[in-house]
Amino acid sequence: MGMAASAVGGKHLHTSWKHFVIIVITLLLLSTPSVCAQCRILRCNSDFVAANLEIGVIGGGGKEGANAGYCSALRSYALCTQRTARACRGDLAYHSAVQGIEDLLIQHRCPKTGPTAQPRPLPLPQAALSGDICFYEKGFMQREGRAPEYLHCGVFGDPHIRTFNEEFQTCAVQGAWPLIDNQYLYIQATSTRTRGSSYTTVLTKITVILKNWRECAELQMYQAELDNVPPAFVDGSVTGGDRRGHQSLRIHSHDPGRHAEVWATHIGTTIVVRQVGRSLSLSVRSPRAIVESYTPEQDLQLCVWGCPLSQRLETPYAHPSMPAYAHCSSLLPVRDVYFQACLFDLQVTGDLNSSASAVVALEDARVMISDPDRVHLLTDRAGNNPPSLPVVLALSVLVETLRHAFFGPV
């Protein structure tokens, strides 16, 4: 009897180690920039690891309880991958995770339907935990003794996207796409094809929804279209969330019809909408806690994860002797992502005025990013290129080798 119990315990410990090794290697695979920039599979994986730590699978524990909890964690993992499927199409790590989940569900005889692990609670804005919930930055500084960490997203030109995670991509997205979708803010951009082009697009409409937040601000909407960037909300007001003589929401414009700046002090967020040439542009500055306050269902946000891999465009090569190179160099001497955006727009459109969008986007970035060293995002950090074929093949071989080593031939 003792030997049998020991064998069962040893088998369970061995299985736990298999799980642990798989999880660690998966984390390493998913931590590469080429993967993280493509979809939110890393968050699914971290939730799965957190659930296993809570039920004690990695550290051991009772076999029956651990197996039931492990099945719940697997079902939650599967549900998470389903919700992010659209953004992860063609992603190697995503498809490997999906296959791995199927294998583990079968191996542990887990029903595909049943209870799931409880999701981790959303981070609350720090200001909500302190004195004045309608002054985000003030409340944060009173609580933490420092300013909050701010993130920046810029969308401009073709469009080009600088994400909150400091990735840079040029996208061919057409139609309406969510840029930001969290518990406090929703921003949607509509792109249409440029005349005479089959794949390039420009922003023609931007919709901003500031969600209701306690007594600080009621739901409010702002909408801008090409040739109409109004200095007011949709209802005609220019302020909102009046409280003790302070307005949580305000709109300012120094060029009505072509520029509008929305201030939402209760969430510490600034939104700038401009018309530059024949396209709109958007710049956002928001605290990290606000940016990250989304649920698994809010799984498509271009400002967070960038555009889908299938919708990304490469920047055409420009020799230094070409007129486009010389023109962009005169406007943007640093060879950063804004210089690359200038080259792309100028080569695609042939219009010298198209370079203005990159110049204006850089000016907004200088205002919104407090650290000057982070303003010029260099091209070698841009997330515009998919993983190279050798990397994809190497990862495929590694994943297949691990499957055979742990589970045997399938």
Residues 52-83: tens digit of each pLDDT: 766 654 433 445 555 788 888 888 888 888 87
Residues 163-183: tens digit of each pLDDT: 999 999 998 888 899 999 999
- pLDDT over 90 at 205, yes or no: yes
Residues 136-148: tens digit of each pLDDT: 888 888 888 888 9
Structure token pair of residue 200: 């390039």
Residues 304-362: tens digit of each pLDDT: 988 888 888 887 777 888 898 999 999 998 999 999 999 998 888 888 888 899 999 99
- pLDDT over 60 at 29, yes or no: no
Q: Domains for the chain: give ranges and CATH numbers.
A: 40-108 (no CATH), 150-374 (3.40.1000.10)
- pLDDT over 80 at 22, yes or no: no
The CB-based long-range contact list for 242-249 (8 Å cut-off, 24+ gap) reads 243/134, 243/215, 243/216, 246/134, 246/135, 248/134, 248/216, 248/217, 249/210, 249/217, 249/220
- pLDDT over 80 at 131, yes or no: no
Q: Please state, rounded to an integer, the average pLDDT across all residues of the chain.
A: 78
- The pTM for the full model equals 0.65
Report the chain's C-alpha Rg in angstroms: 24
Give the burial class of 58: count Cβ atoms within 10 A of its Cβ; 0-12 exposed, 13-18 middle, 19 or more buried. middle
Q: How far apart are CA 30 and CA 93, in angstroms?
A: 7
User: Which amino acid does the sequence have at 258?
Assistant: R
